Amino acid sequence: MMTDYKEQWNCISNCGACCRLAPLERLEALEALSPAEEVEYLKMVGQDGWCIHYDSGSRSCRIYKDRPEFCRVCNLKRFFDLANEEPQSIAISFCRQHIRAVYGGKSKEMKKFQKELRIKKKKHE
């Protein structure tokens, strides 16, 4: 028996597209932050536009457990004034945008992300 399905966001390993913090590429993020958070965000931007805490070798965050609140998907509702059901769809949309911008729409990262969404769907059917 099939049930109603809503896509469930899930971070994929070895991606890091969200760690590309280049301010001119992430205007929506900057606009959502408080002045203090914006200062913290800008301090994290390296010369290459990537977060200074992003480990490009392992493609992971060096401070994941202690990362700032604005790096946590669970806080999207706070930053973007969303209804209860919207954070999942917004997170999925943001991930798609960032993966496409950083790696390309047909990249292995995008395929892996899309596959993860399909796996989540099958678990809910």
Report the percentage of the chain scoring pLDDT > 70: 81
First-to-last alpha carbon distance for the chain, in angstroms, is: 7
Query: Tens digit of pLDDT for each residue in 79-109?
Result: 666 666 577 788 888 889 999 999 999 999 9
Query: Tens digit of pLDDT for each residue in 112-121?
Result: 999 988 876 5
Q: Contact, 86 vs 79, CB < 8 A? A: no
Task: Scan for tokens 């301010």, then name that residue.
Answer: 23
The pTM for the full model equals 0.78
Q: Contact, 55 vs 62, CB < 8 A? A: yes
